[in-house]
Structure 1
Amino acid sequence: MEIPPGFEVQNERNKVCLLKKALYGLEQSPRAWFGRFTKAMVSLGYKQSQGDHTLFIKHSSTGKLTLLVVYVDDMIGKLKYFLGIEVAYSKNGIFISQRKYVLDLLKETGKQGCRTSTVPIEQNHKIGSEESVPVEKAQYQRLVGKLIYLSHTRPDIAYAVSVVSQFMHDPRERHMQAIDKILQYLKSSPEKGLLFKREDTLTMKIYTDADYAGSITRKSTSGYCVFLGDSLVTWRSKKQYRVSCSSAEAEFRALARGMCETLWMKIILDDLKVKVDNPVQLYCDNKSAMSIAHNPIHDRTKHIEIDRHFIKDNLDRGFVITTHVPTELQIADIFTKGLPQGRFQDLVGKLGMIDIHLPT
């Protein structure tokens, strides 16, 4: 940045201008603009959501609701296509997908004519830090970034994308082969997406699971998914930061992360004045982890004491109740490991993923 013409001071090379307000292009300018925008919205009667500060809500005296989400300074209107996400409306609800995004990705990578795969990642894969041939880091990182964005509407690839994203610092040929597997799977189902159904009453359900010591480093993978009514609204697949000493501990850590997501969702829904039946149903397939959640004193879990007290507090105040679910009915299993074709396709159906282009 240079001093504007006419404001230069002769023979003063060590002087700088004092900035009185944010200028376009400075690092702090977007934040300053958003702060001013927030004050303007509040003055107009909008309330800033505590769960998402870019969401502004206004409830009128006549019962009307106005929702304003700030992403850019453009008015979009009724959403049909936004940043690669396609939105369709019907009497059954709202359907979101990224069909064009998938097709463009296949074209970019030269996979339009590739053979297809019924799963995005192999069962019992052993993908870790490899000694195989290095691949171009920038290209690998770009592809993983695109897949991460795609996983925002494609929970069926969430686990596979979580795996390949762990090697962006030093990608190898084996890791690129794993990306190719994901692309082959996408080739078989580019139109798949999520349907948010119209429902009269809403219950919140959360499934949490963990794959104990499933990675080569023996760290476990947490997975959870949250349903509002019969619609999947949020999900996550993530390798745990620490090695767990037992399957119960791994499941317990996943349970805590899932409960954090549920609390955040409850804040958003309260801001929107959306009534949800209480308590939240939390489904876990590990009885030992559920026992730890209800037991306030346990010598073997002192190292996860914060998680334990956090979960126990929410159980005691009646926000959530835990229910044991058989492993074969554990939907979050799809976010923790590679699965055989039959099991994988069954869980994809339970996630509520459909292809609206297929004949019914």
Structure 2
Amino acid sequence: MKSHYAPGELQVDFGFFGRNVRFLLIVHVLSGYLSTVVLGPEDPVPVPAVCKALSEMGLNGLDIVVHGDQENLLESVFRDSAKHRTFVGRSMHWVPFAVNRPQAKGIVERNVCLVKEAFWSVWLGLEERVGGQLPLGSYLFIEAMRYAVRMHNLFHVSKEQSTPLERLRGSTVQAVKSCEFGVVGFGKPQKDYPEHRGKRLVRAIYVGPHGANGSGIRVFVPLGDGKPPRLEIFSSFRARDPVEFDKAVLDQLKGNREDPERPIKFDPPPDPPALPDGSLEFPVGQAEEPGAPDAMEDEDLADYSPSLPADGEGMDVEPPPGGVLDEDDVEMGDGEDNIMDDGLTWLYEYGLRQLYEGPDLRVTQKLRRGDNPAEYRRVLGKLMWASLTLPHLAYPVGFLGRFQSDPDSQAEACLRRVVRWVMALPEYLQRFSAFGWVDQSFESETLLSGYVDASWNVCSVSGAIVLWHGMMIKCFSRKQSVTALSSAEAELAALTEAAKEAVYLSLLLETLLQGLPAGDTGSYPIYLSSDSEAALSISKMKGLLRRVRHLELRHRYLQELVQSERLRLTFIQGCLNPSDGLTKSPEEAMLQHLLEACGLERICEEDLQTLCVPEQLRERVEELENLHEKLEELPENLLKYRPVAVDLAMGVVPLLVVELFCARDSALCAACKRESVAYIGITQEEDFLSKNTQLFLGEVLLCLLKRNPPKIYIHVASPCTAGCSFRFKNWHKPKFRHRWREQMKKHVASWKTLGKLLQNHCQDVLLTQEWPKTCGLWKEETYQRVKKSLGLSFGREVDRCAFDLVYKRWWFACNCSEWCEIFSGKSCDKNHVHVAPESLEATGYYPTKLGRALLRAAKRVLKVAVEGTAVRTCAEDDEQST
């Protein structure tokens, strides 16, 4: 069942440990990923820490929707985060919870209890280890909270058998090793401090992983001489055996921000302080239930179980006195009815997807088999691809392929040896034909020859090389599927496999040279050589003798080929058989023999200089070299169009769309991405009037003079910053009149430059232009002159209604009458989808549906179907958008 939650949907709330210790919890609803920010009683929420938490969740470029109680402090925190320079999202939306919402049964409230339960399991265990009570609010407390949340994100597994971090990132995260919080060990620091010089390993206190994916180790390093321990990041860490805890170092990290003599009070806080940025007063966004318990006081911290709910909250708990809450002690009750209309929403809201079992704090051990079978298969796949042209890799790849289903440590070690051997091999080139291996009797175009061999073992291996005109066209090394009882049987199985491959290649060769064969079988003869006289004798006899009757019937196929004289078998000495290197690990002499038969020679500088390169190919290479030199001179604001420029130079772009004076994410840009059309947009950042931009566009238009010119569609999306009726709103103010005149000068200069740029290409491109119908630039003399020279004599009117319901009437001019007939006017209302949720009056954005209509009309006029996709009709496109 597909979840209705968006990837950027969050729920937030505050949690409390007593009067003066609180934390902000951020829950990614779709994945269950948690993040916390620990605060003091009067500390404002650090906005950079919130932005960093959003970045760790992978919300870059997403629309973030935050749900929380109707508290001014919560809302102000996330509004300030959206304005911060480190904010990674695309937008931030605050959606308050309903007032009558059951607080204790929501997702974020249940996760607050979950985090506190995980924290107490860590904190009480540490107190038991050191034999004393540790105060809350210290630096050690902050690291313990971080440790509990990190362990949940990395190791908590739900019914879907994936951790929150895996669901958040959409991929499997490599397992990391963890230790018990506060344990003493030794590690390798990343930063070279003076205290670490001359030490390979440094003694430290482990406090958890550093990165969101478990990378890095956070430790406290004791400095001695009364100095407090320093927090550092280690690259590796190993706990002492047996496990040891240093109470003296932990006492230095107390740094308490509350009174240790005061009894600790738990949720709800009895007297929350008033903060300058907002209020945490209980009635705001909450409804006090009748009979709700008051704040509890407990002198002994170990007697408190943080998972105890209030009465009537749907969960009954009977924990043993002084013990930790166990999963068997939890009995779920029935939820309240009529809370949500959607059943799936009700389940997600009440958090019934999973049962939290506590963070897994065990140290994950490496498996006996390979650490990562996927990595083994990936490297083996690359070797298999290389073996297609390098026959001496065929046997090692086939041998390693037997273990890819479950590779162990020995298979991985063997793979590493093969990779080291391959990396040390020289580069080869293949000659046609191989010198010294061309038999004059095999020079016919209608003849195939080959060499066959087999190794007799528990898993016998067949190897063969098929040649045509002395050129290797096929070689293979395969494990035999049936165990052979003798070497003759293994050689016979290899001859059968080689005969099947040779028959297929002869049929393919005959079809390419002379067309389809007239009969059921081909007529091209095949010559195979083997070093087994016994296998050759069995192949040439009729039927099978008593001692070889157990052989499979498919070997009769080999005898039929020999009897029909389609296949001819010859004997070759074993020391001269080059296919011997395909059945076993080749020695140096055997490897050289195999390479010579396949025509592979070590490449040298003279071979590179004597290679025959066609004249057209050489010219093409020179063009690409000149192109790369020009692209290196591009400014930074045009580097993003470098791939498009390379494709244009290579002639692989059927249609290019160039949009001038546009927004960064315009509707036409979105339509081009949707249709996989090459697109270049000149925004205010690229500056159309700059010299670099003019040179770049000039080089693009020069592609029209090449052999395979692309179809180019240029759209002028002039913004209404000058020349429209809005200027009369503040016309009586001098600064507004001055600003309008400056914008007019820029528009006039832009049209002059556009006319010079297209004066020699206006007949070869499709040019359209959009302006408001009431724009004052229509009557400008420079525009009229350039418009006439560019042929913008046709037009179409379009009515538009923006996101903020600002109604405008626009006119689209074009240099092609057919475009006006195809392009249909669009009228949109508030229900359409915009490129960005901003007003048309401020940005000039218009709906993506209009951008698709522009591209569709251009493709029909230019008769272009990009990447094999047929041009859709207007009705089909409208139906798909609906």
Structure-1-length-normalised TM-score: 0.58
Matched, 1:144 2:380: yes
Which of residues 438, 450, 471 in structure 2 aligns to 1:206?
450
Which of residues 333, 336, 339 in structure 1 aligns to 2:583?
336
Per-residue CA shift, 1:245-283, capped at 9, x if unaligned?
A: 000000000000000000100110111126999532110
Contact kept? 1:153, 1:193, Cα under 8 Å: no
Contact kept? 1:135, 1:171, Cα under 8 Å: no
> Structure 2 CA distance, aligned partners of 1:211 and 1:274?
38
Contact kept? 2:463, 2:475, Cα under 8 Å: yes
Cα shift at 1:187: 1.9
Q: Which amino acid aligns with 2:499?
A: M
> Structure 2 CA distance, aligned partners of 1:201 and 1:310?
25
Partner residue, 1:270? 510
Partner residue, 2:538? 292
Partner residue, 1:309? 556
Matched, 1:318 2:565: yes
Contact kept? 1:157, 1:182, Cα under 8 Å: no
Matched, 1:349 2:596: yes
Partner residue, 1:185? 421
Per-residue CA shift, 1:146-167, capped at 9, x if unaligned?
A: 1111111111110010000110
> Structure 2 CA distance, aligned partners of 1:132 and 1:347?
37
- Give the gaps of 5 or more residues in structure 1: 3-130
> Structure 2 CA distance, aligned partners of 1:135 and 1:235?
33
Partner residue, 1:280? 526
Partner residue, 1:259? 499
Contact kept? 1:292, 1:308, Cα under 8 Å: no
Q: 1:305 to 1:181 in 2, by over 3 A?
A: same
Cα shift at 1:173: 2.2
> Structure 2 CA distance, aligned partners of 1:306 and 1:339?
32
Paired residues for 1:49-198 under 5 Å:
133-189=369-425, 191-197=427-433
> Structure 2 CA distance, aligned partners of 1:308 and 1:230?
28
> Structure 2 CA distance, aligned partners of 1:308 and 1:356?
42
Matched, 1:236 2:476: yes
Find the residue that maps to 1:150 and give its secondary structure: helix
> Structure 1 CA distance, aligned partners of 2:454 and 2:592?
19
RCO comparison, higher one (Cα < 8 Å, 6+): 1
Which of residues 485, 495, 499 in structure 2 aligns to 1:245?
485
Contact kept? 2:431, 2:601, Cα under 8 Å: yes
Q: 1:352 to 1:168 in 2, by over 3 A?
A: same
Contact kept? 1:253, 1:307, Cα under 8 Å: no
More deviation in 233-242 or 247-256?
Answer: 233-242
Cα shift at 1:132: 6.3
Contact kept? 1:223, 1:335, Cα under 8 Å: yes
Per-residue CA shift, 1:208-234, capped at 9, x if unaligned?
A: 111001xxxx12111111011111110
Q: Which amino acid aligns with 2:574?
A: T
Contact kept? 2:373, 2:404, Cα under 8 Å: yes
Q: Which amino acid aligns with 2:400?
A: V
Partner residue, 1:119? none
Paired residues for 1:7-22 under 5 Å:
none
Contact kept? 2:448, 2:506, Cα under 8 Å: no
Q: Which runs of 4+ in 1 moved over 4 A?
A: 274-278
Q: 1:265 to 1:244 in 2, by over 3 A?
A: same
> Structure 2 CA distance, aligned partners of 1:194 and 1:333?
20
Cα shift at 1:341: 1.7
Q: Which amino acid aligns with 1:160?
A: P
Q: Which amino acid aligns with 1:211?
A: S
Find the residue that maps to 2:475 and give its secondary structure: strand
Contact kept? 2:428, 2:601, Cα under 8 Å: yes
More deviation in 132-141 or 291-300?
Answer: 132-141
> Structure 2 CA distance, aligned partners of 1:174 and 1:209?
28
> Structure 1 CA distance, aligned partners of 2:528 and 2:581?
17
Structure-2-length-normalised TM-score: 0.25
Find the residue that maps to 1:346 and give its secondary structure: helix
Q: Which has the larger radius of gyration?
A: 2
Cα shift at 1:304: 2.3
Cα shift at 1:292: 0.7
Find the residue that maps to 1:205 and give its secondary structure: strand
Contact kept? 1:154, 1:193, Cα under 8 Å: no
Contact kept? 1:226, 1:233, Cα under 8 Å: yes
> Structure 1 CA distance, aligned partners of 2:577 and 2:420?
26
More deviation in 145-154 or 258-267?
Answer: 145-154
> Structure 2 CA distance, aligned partners of 1:151 and 1:194?
14
Q: 1:340 to 1:355 in 2, by over 3 A?
A: closer
Q: 1:339 to 1:197 in 2, by over 3 A?
A: closer
Contact kept? 1:167, 1:175, Cα under 8 Å: yes
Q: Which amino acid aligns with 2:526?
A: V
Q: Which amino acid aligns with 2:589?
A: G
Q: Which amino acid aligns with 2:467?
A: F
Contact kept? 1:210, 1:250, Cα under 8 Å: yes
Q: Which amino acid aligns with 1:136?
A: N
Per-residue CA shift, 1:48-75, capped at 9, x if unaligned?
A: xxxxxxxxxxxxxxxxxxxxxxxxxxxx
Per-residue CA shift, 1:275-307, capped at 9, x if unaligned?
A: 999532110100001111112231222232423
When the two structures are aligned, how many residues end up with a matched partner?
Answer: 227
RMSD over aligned Cα atoms: 2.6
Partner residue, 1:58? none
> Structure 1 CA distance, aligned partners of 2:414 and 2:474?
24
> Structure 2 CA distance, aligned partners of 1:316 and 1:248?
20
Per-residue CA shift, 1:102-136, capped at 9, x if unaligned?
A: xxxxxxxxxxxxxxxxxxxxxxxxxxxxx964331
